[in-house]
Amino acid sequence: MANLNDSVRAALDACGASGYEGPHATRTPLTGEELIGTVEHTANDVDQAIAKAQAAFREWRNIPAPVRGNVVKRWGELLTEHKRDLAVLVQAEAGKSMSEAMGEVQEMIDICDFALGQSRMLWGKTMPSERPGHRLMETWHPLGVVGIISAFNFPVAVYSWNTALALVCGDTVVWKPSEICKLSAIGADALLARAVKDCDAPADIHQLILADRAAGEQLVNDPRVALVSATGSTRMGREVGPKVAARFGRFLLELGGNNAAIVAPSADLDLALRGVVFAAAGTAGQRCTTMRRLLVHESIADQFVDKLVAAYKTLTIGDPRDESVLVGPLVNKASFDKMQNSIAAAQEQGGTLLVGGKRVLEDQFADAYYVEPAIVKMPSQTDIVREETFAPILYVMTYTDLDDAIEVHNEVPQGLSSAIFTSDQAESEKFLSASGSDCGIANVNIGTSGAEIGGAFGGEKETGGGRESGSDSWQAYMRRATNTINYSGELPLAQGVKFL
């Protein structure tokens, strides 16, 4: 294989990145070796970035939305041109297969298409007024500076969801990426800078911060940041939400997921098998939508679990630069340790490890952490099952009655993604009803991962309640004003009030 840093440097150069190199290096999960180092921004740099974005907002908000849309259109064109370059950076930092890294960049391209169309549809409603000669309507206006804090597992896609919509809505952006995914951030930001320049838009509408957690705290606490969109753990969300709320700012939280699927007796088991394996083992279990719990009807449990264990034994594990590999590395040793601790806790709570859980390739990669995806059969939903472990562990349980399965499904603090595999329409409708899944995403006959751009993405309960990407999620980046226009020549008051 080609030298990793040579490939990274070539990808950065192709994206047009410059001035990024510095002493602060991170390790790639692929091999454990150090990647090219970057600069580290100071607290003063963060302050200046927010100030620049605030100043640019005053101009950007007055540019017509369809004209603002041209910037994301051009960004999408450049992302298409440099799709593989950016995917190389994502793979190097997040440890994804090239197929998944390319898919992540495709999400960026797709949201640019979506946002371009949205730039002509930032519409409000017109309502009938109770007063004659009056018109009642609502308008939507740009919100201000949007602070984005993103996570390592999707280092560029979720950022782009926020950025593309924020820009067409007339906001400016300050982005603080994960400390371990700075190079992919530099590449993505460089392509956006090229798009801004090509469209003759204000240069400071996007700002990139390369720094540690303290920089994120600055974004959270700064009153100039109108909206903080943060992706990460529930623990992080507990800190971010109250701090932003205390200064009456807005926040959009995309937090933990403890996603489950139900496999009903009528399910197409071959289809369910493929859906479960990808959702549970793909990306080495490091998606927020990774399937972590599986509820299988007792009448088919032995048959289906045997198929599942057999499928797990065929998974190819290794350096995902080899395109035959399906499962890449965990991001670091801390993730590996958490996985081992969770498996041990599950066994202490009555679980049986059916397959996987071991570290592999340690002779080849002493500083990288490759593991076999694990399946643990549990007697019930114990404390460890209610927790999210960001690793490829699938807890399997059985059920007798669908209502009981849904109750167990919902009996966790998180509420992001969910699925049912069934050929019974009544079962699928119940799962999607108000008394069914309590998650923000509920699927039928597909797994818990693999959301499309057109649907709003997010979850309930400790997942944070935020919505990103499609549908009407653009409204989170704007402020609403209700307008009353009086063209009657008179001054009647609402509700028939008499004053003079």
CATH classification code of 259-444: 3.40.309.10
Confidence (pLDDT) at 238: 96
- pTM for this predicted structure: 0.96
CA distance 378 to 361: 28
Contact 266, 427 (CB under 8 A): yes
Task: Name the fold adopted by 4-255+464-481.
Answer: Aldehyde Dehydrogenase; Chain A, domain 1 (3.40.605)
E-only strand ranges, 177-290: 206-208, 225-231, 250-254, 259-263
In sequence order, the 6+-apart residues with CB closer than 8 A to the CB of 38 are 20, 21, 22, 24, 25, 182, 183, 186, 210
Q: Is the dihedral of CA 389, 393, 394, 395 positive or negative?
A: negative
Q: Can 4-255+464-481 and 259-444 be said to share one CATH topology?
A: no
What residue type is assigned to position 255 of the chain?
Answer: L
Residue 452 falls in the annotated catalytic set: no
List the chain domain ranges: 4-255+464-481, 259-444
Q: Which residue has the tokens 């080899």?
A: 322
Contact 468, 163 (CB under 8 A): no
CA-closest candidate to residue 188, choices 215, 156, 149, 148: 156
User: What tens-digit pLDDT sequence spans the chain (500 residues)?
Assistant: 679 999 999 999 999 998 889 999 999 999 999 999 999 999 999 999 999 999 999 999 999 999 999 999 999 999 999 999 999 999 999 999 999 999 999 999 999 999 999 999 999 999 999 999 999 999 999 999 999 999 999 999 999 999 999 999 999 999 999 999 999 999 999 999 999 999 999 999 999 999 999 999 999 999 999 999 999 999 999 999 999 999 999 999 999 999 999 999 999 999 999 999 999 999 999 999 999 999 999 999 999 999 999 999 999 999 999 999 999 999 999 999 999 999 999 999 999 999 999 999 999 999 999 999 999 999 999 999 999 999 999 999 999 999 999 999 999 999 999 999 999 999 999 999 999 999 999 999 999 998 899 999 999 999 999 999 999 999 999 999 999 999 999 999 999 898 87
Confidence (pLDDT) at 19: 87
Q: What is the pLDDT of residues 336-386, one digit of tens each?
A: 999 999 999 999 999 999 999 999 999 999 999 999 999 999 999 999 999
Give whole-number Cα distances, 221 to 147, 346, 367, in Å: 11, 39, 36
Contact 15, 190 (CB under 8 A): yes
Classify residue 126 as exposed, middle or buried by CB count within 10 Å of its CB (0-12, 13-18, 19+). Answer: exposed
Confidence (pLDDT) at 259: 98
Catalytic residue among 100, 104, 107, 254: 254
CA distance 487 to 139: 18
